[in-house]
Amino acid sequence: MAASSLSSAHAVLGLLGLGAALLVPGRANADIYTYTDAQGNVHVTSQPVRGGKSGGKMDRITSGDGTKSRKKAAQLFTVSMPSDRSPERFGRYDSWIREGARLYRLPEELIRAIIKCESDFDPRAVSPTGAQGLMQLMPATALRMQVRDAFDPRENILGGSRYLRVLANMFNGDLELTVAGYNAGENAVMKYQGIPPYEETQGYVGCVVGHYRAFKALDGEGLRSAR
């Protein structure tokens, strides 16, 4: 992706960081566990639960930096690709998008662009790597962002928005790096000191920034019909 094609996107979030400067990810280096209870429900926790209490097998899906979570989660969750095609879905979550933008001082259009590229506004979507819901939160990220139910639209949007704010603070408001971190993880962005050289991540940055610009150019009614 050519840097010049996104140059106007730099520092979009830069002036928004002061109000949330103390927001940092909690327990970023904690182990993350999952277990399946007697009813077959998958739970994610930072505390190991004894088999007798959980009624099922406990599995550690990340150790410290989260590098194992994608592979492990892929083995635990059933893939569900976006399937909701109703035009109404584009305006269905407006109030929670506004709430997330207000709480974490983010542009509404950025949250909306992330949702568009991640799940196409389908709250039941599950990726092959186990990312869940509207903003496709990995189980470890959802736990860090205090999300109890990633399939609850409001919880998912607020958790995803909180993570965006953490990333925006970390990368000094640089929009491209914030978006790249959301896809590849903050460690990958820091390792490469820029957008990681992953085809998926580079395409993702283009998708989000492109929709971000398009949403900013539309009025409220236009957002509802954007595809």
pLDDT in tens, the chain (227 residues): 433 334 445 555 654 443 444 344 444 444 555 555 555 555 555 555 555 444 555 555 553 444 445 555 444 445 555 666 777 878 899 999 999 999 999 999 999 999 999 999 999 999 888 899 999 999 999 999 999 999 999 999 999 999 999 999 999 999 999 999 999 999 999 999 999 999 999 999 999 999 999 999 985 544 444 44
How far out from the chain centre does Cα 59 lie?
23
Tell me what pLDDT residue 62 has.
Answer: 53
Q: Rounded to an integer, what distance in angstroms lies between the CA atom of residue 124 and that of residue 152?
A: 9
Q: Rounded to an integer, what distance in angstroms lies between the CA atom of residue 184 and that of residue 24?
A: 18
Greatest CA separation for the chain? 57
Nearest CA-CA partner of 214 in 226, 199, 200, 196: 226
* Whether residue 118 lies in the annotated active site: yes
In Å, what is the CA distance from 149 to each residue of 44, 124, 216?
10, 11, 30
Calculate the dihedral angle through the C-alpha atoms of 65, 67, 163, 130, rounding to the nearest 10 degrees: -140
User: Position 95: which residue type?
Assistant: S
Round the CA-based radius of gyration of the chain to a whole number and report it.
Answer: 17
**DSSP conformation class of 19:** G
Tell me what pLDDT residue 213 has.
Answer: 95
Q: Tell me: the pLDDT tens digits for 145-155? A: 999 999 999 99
Question: β-pairing, 42-45 with 32-36?
Answer: antiparallel
Query: Catalytic pick from 99, 108, 109, 118?
Result: 118
Q: Tell me: the pLDDT tens digits for 63-108? A: 344 444 555 544 444 555 566 677 787 889 999 999 999 999 999 9
